[in-house]
Amino acid sequence: MVKLNIGDQAPDFSCPDKDGNIISLNDLVKNRPIVLYFYGKDGTPVCTKEACEFRDRYEKFVDAGVDVIGISSDDSESHSNFSTKYKLPFTLLSDKGGKIAKLYGVKGVLLPGRKTFIIDKGGKILMTYSALLSATSHIEESLKVIEILKSQQS
């Protein structure tokens, strides 16, 4: 199993978004840093809570110049329904077969993995955070790192 660390180059990938458009990591990071969060399944209680927390705090990420990207093994149709139902303002990507999760070392025990990365415009990993059963801690930890980065750029 791959273990990515802070400072490592994030593995590039291409996969469909909720509308079926093929998106690559290079496309995502060419203009701004991203929060890339891996989650288990659309519509499950903890994953829905996590997505809605990202939604509710989305403006904080945007204000800091960072985009939020969710990724799971659900297909584009499932992502489209999930995004519409919960009014998610960010991109959801489909990792059918879990190949991207493997590239990023995301693995769960009994449940799919839940892991968050912050990746800068150069594709370097600035943060990794893993907490399988905690929906909101991923958002809190991401915002802490983003605030530190924002203050260093000022």
Active site residues: 47
* Angle, CA 103 vertex, CA 128 and CA 106 arms, to 5°: 50
Q: At what angle do helices 45-56 and 137-153 cross, to 10 degrees?
A: 30
* Nearest Cα residue to 70 out of 99, 38, 34, 22: 38
Separation of alpha carbons 39 and 37, rounded Å: 6
Beta strands in 2-150 (DSSP E): 14-16, 22-24, 34-38, 67-72, 91-94, 115-119, 125-130
